[in-house]
Each structure stands twice: as C-alpha cells, then as structure tokens.
Amino acid sequence: MPIFNAPTDDIKFVLHEILKCETLSALPGYEDASADLIDQIIDEGSKLCQEELFPLNQSGDEEGCHFDNGTVTTPKGFQQAYDLFTEGGWVGLSCDPEYGGMGLPQLVNFVMQEIISAANMSFGMYPGLSQGAYDAIHLHGSDEQKALYLPKIIEGKWSGTMNLTEPHCGTDLGLIRTKADPAPDEDGAYLITGSKIYISAGEHDLTENIVHLVLARLPDAPEGVKGISLFVVPKFLPKEDNGDWTIGERNGVSCGSIEKKMGIKASATCVMNYENAKGWLVGAPHKGLRAMFTMMNAARLGVGMQGLGMGEIAYQNAVAFAKDRLQMRALDGTKYPDKPADPIIVHPDVRKMLMTGKAFTEGARALSYWVGMQLDISEKHPDPAKREEAEELVALLTPIIKAYQTDMGSDVANMAVQVHGGHGFIWEYGVEQYVRDARIAQIYEGTNGIQALDLVGRKMSKKYGRLLRRFFHPLAAYIEKTQSDEALQEFVFPLAKAFAKLQQATVMIATKGLKDPNEAGAASTDYLRMFALVAMGYMWLQMAEKAQENLAGDAGEKTEFYETKLQTARFFFQKMLPETDARFKTILAGADSVMSLKAEAF
C-alpha cells in the first residue's frame, strides 16, 4: 500500500528560514499573515490531505469517473471529501475577502497546491480549475460578474472551468471556430455555439453549478488570435432569489463524453458542446486571449506544483520500499548481518535514484515557493517599481517552473517504479499510478516544448532582456557575496561556472536566433533545462548557506536535518548540476542536425 506524509518540516524550513515569508505581513492586505498563522494553515491542510484526500487517490484511480447520458459521477468518497474541503474554506484560501475569501498570500496557496497534488492529483483538478476561473473573473470581469460569480466559486457551491481547445486546434488558438452571436432580446447576452475538448472538470456532481469560461469569436472578429473574446457561460443560468443568487433553467451547454485516459482518471476530462448557450462577455471584445492568459499563467504555475507534488509522493514511496526490500548484500560488505539480505537502499544505483528525487523535490520546493512569494509582491507591494520587478521575475520563471518541475516529477515517478522493480509495475503498490498521473503535466497548459519556445522566443528578448536581468543580476550578486566563504566554495564555484555557460548560451541563442529562428527553436528545450538547473543551484546555495549557519550555532535537535541538507546539496552540485555542461554542448551544436533531414526521409 502506498504512503504519504506532507513534508511539513522541509516546507517550513523554506518558508521561514530561506524566504522569511512572515515579511509578507508588511504588505497591504496581508497584515494577519503571521508565521504562526501560516504554519497553522499548513498543518491543518496537511492533515486534510493525508486523512481525507490521499485515501481516495488509489480507489479513485481504480474506479474513475462514470459517464451516463451527459451526467458525470465522480468516484466514491469524492463528494464527501469535496464537502469537507469547501467547508474548511480551502477554495478561497488566497481569494479576495470582499467576496468571502480568506485573503492569505498566494505563497500559502502554492504550498497547498503541492500537498494536494501529492495526496490526490485528480481531486485537486476540481478546485484548481475553480481558482483559474476566479482569477480571470476577478481581474477582467465586470463588477456585476464579480458580485455574481466570485462568492459562489469561493464558497465552493459553484465551480469553474476554462474552455480553450477544440478538436482541430490546441496550442494555435487563432484557429478556434466557436462563435458568439448577440442574443435577441437579451441585455448583453450572447449565444455561444461550438465544441471544446479536453475540458477538465467540465461536468461533474460535486457542485450545483459549473461556470465555464469559453473562448469564442464575435461576428465581426478579425482573423487569428486578435479576434478571440472570452465569455462566462454557466451550466445553469443564475437567478436572483431574495437577494441571493441561485440556479435557474439549464443553459445550452452539455457534456458529450468523457475521455478514457492514461492517468488522473478521477478527474473528468470532457467534450463540451455549446448550442446557443447564453454567455456574457468578460472584458473587452476581441481581448479574450489576454484574459485567458490570466488563467493560463496561473495554471502553468499550478501544473508546476503538480510536478513537484508527484515527485514528492513518488520519492516517499521509493524510499519506504528501498528501506524494506531485502536483496543481495552491500558491495562493500554486509550491513545487516541479522537479516538474510541487505535492504536495497545500500546499493549505489538505488541511492542515486533516491538522492535525485530528494534533491529535486527540495530544490524545486524552494524555487517555486520563491516564485510564489514574488507573485505576492507583484500584486501587493506599495512601490510600483517593486511590483513590476517581481512581476517580470514571475513571468520569466513561469515556463521554467512548469516545464522543469513536470519533467522531473515524471522522471522521479519512473525512478520510483524502477526502485520497486517488478512490484513497481503492479497496481497495488501505487507507484505506477504516479507515472500515469504525472505524465499529463508535461502536456497540458502548453506542452513543455511550448514553454521552452516561450522562454527563448518571448521572455528572453522582452523589454530588451530586462526579464533576464531580473534573475541574472541577483544571482551574480549572490555568487560574488558568497564566493569568499571558504565553507561554501564547493557549492559556489560549480554554480558560477554553470551560470557563466548559461550567459554564453543566452548570447549565442539571441545572436543566431535573429538570423534563423530554427536555431533558437532547436536550442530552446536544452536552454530551459540549463536555466532550470542554474535556478535550482541558486536555491541550493542559499539552503546550504543557511544549513551551515545553523550548524555553526546550536542546531540542537535539528542538527541531523541541517546536515542532511548539506549532504543533499553536495549531491545536487556534484551529480545534477553538471548536466548543464552537456546541455551547453548541444546548444553549441546548432540546428543543422535537427532540421536538415527532409520530412519524407522520416
């Protein structure tokens, strides 16, 4: 049977000792976000995930969702768990108190996204989509739309979705055909007609209403992405009842089918059909892509947290199995003479896989929480310059968080299967599910190849490289600050070398890419991976410095914790960061070998 324990000690180490998250309480609106409150929220959330969500993960995978004549039923236990989730206010954790939210920092929401994803990724899809709908309406909706929809979404009585993809187009949203015609005799309403596919949580039985955010074209829409508008299309039309909004008649939206999938089987992935469904414009006409990207960018960070969560639970189960499974003797002599064989954790290859999982999850946790904190600063800091700086850093690191963490989450899940050997291939041990569940995170919300193109094609050149400088400058300053510390040199010097190569690669891609876009495209995935490893190194250097600082004082009962941090940091710098050398060489090789073969020759 699989296990899960929220890694609260490591979470709090990152929040309080690395990021000093309590400083967020100095920002307007976050005055109550003390360290004690944040810890209390995390402890309660961890308990909910461990005791209510995780026990449904494997059974939900086995049962899946049921589809019957347009109706979707979630697996046994999901409704009760969702009710507990909403009663605890978890949907509105970081939402605006004006509409019933708790108003906590986005950083706290990042933490919960990780824990929920680790405990039950399928379950997390439902409130996760609601969060995206909330964000889009909160930022781009009218005052009337906010007052109508946001309290219901935050309460959890209504949920949300985002409807982008159509059967003939995925990433290229300029090709969408769903249309929106002005409704006769309806004040401000439109009639939406078309079909959308791969709509997560498009239909289910957890809430009384589902609020769909749908991309469609107005009759006078220009071609391409400049002609896309965003509409809010509820499953049931809202009606006012004694000052409150309730559900009225069924709208012209229906679920045509649900997909049979490789993973996240307890999350309903739907084909949604719109037949003269009433919808209302969100934001300005033909500006829907901008509004939808509010959801997309938040979703990409959320998917990055899914990658981290899947890596964490896969790592935990691999460790538990490696400590228990007896096979052969250690290469350097028997370690457990009282047993017929040593546990496989003594073997170097097994340990390397476990250390990779450990170094990834702890480093990625620090990196993604740092981005979460920057998101809070970008939204709440009173200084516009500080807000802009943080916003640009978040924009730069979003494709890196999404792509690297989902790639590695999938890798660690596969390593967990390998550690389990034949048992890993068997359903009852749980880890094969993590491979299946983790795989989608590399695909949806923009494939990881698209994230790499976004990094080199948009973020690298935007504002004449200013986004890059938001990361390069503080990293360079930190390297300069720490390089004279003899105790840190084993970490600083490898990072400095990798950073120098990243800068060289940046210049080369920018130069060659101007002459031939294929040069930038061919280098993009390697560049993103290289960038991610350097960013992870930045986090690991900070954690190593803090661990050494604490060990130099009186670490007390946490001595082993900090010593383990240093040992894991050494593994990252010695065994994982050197990947930047290989990535650099492949970037230098250029695009010729990638692009020269004729299509007919494949």
For residues 559 and 543, what is the distance between their CA atoms, to the nearest angstrom? 14
Find the radius of gyration of the CA atoms of the chain.
25
Q: How far apart are alpha carbons 311 and 305 in whole angstroms?
A: 10
Q: SS3 for 203-248, per residue?
A: CCCCCCEEEEEEEEECCCCCCHHHHCEEEEEECEEEEEECCEEEEE
600 noted as active-site residue: no
d(CA 529, CA 178): 36
Q: Which residues contact 292 (CB under 8 A, 6 or more apart)?
A: 136, 162, 164, 213, 215, 228, 230
> Residue 260 carries which side chain, given as an amino acid letter?
K
* Residues 105 and 94: beta-carbon distance below 8 Å: yes
- Counted residue by residue, the chain has a size of 602
Given 166, 362, 445, 545, the catalytic residue:
445
Q: Which two tokens stand for residue 99?
A: 């509409």
Angle between helices 466-482 and 384-420 in degrees, nearest 10: 70
At 190, phi and psi to the nearest 5?
-125, 160
Whose CA is closest to 142, among 296, 284, 295?
A: 284
Residues 210 and 52: their CA atoms lie apart, in Å, by 24
Helices within 26-142 (DSSP H only): 35-48, 57-63, 78-87, 106-140
Angle at 7 between CA 115 and CA 134, to 5 degrees: 20
376's tokens:
């809070």
Residue 17: what residue type?
A: E
Q: Name every residue whose Cβ is closer than 8 Å to that of residue 409 and which is 6 or more positions away in sequence.
A: 306, 307, 308, 309, 310, 311, 314, 438, 441
Nearest 5°: phi and psi at 364?
Answer: -65, -35
**What are the residue numbers of the active site?**
445
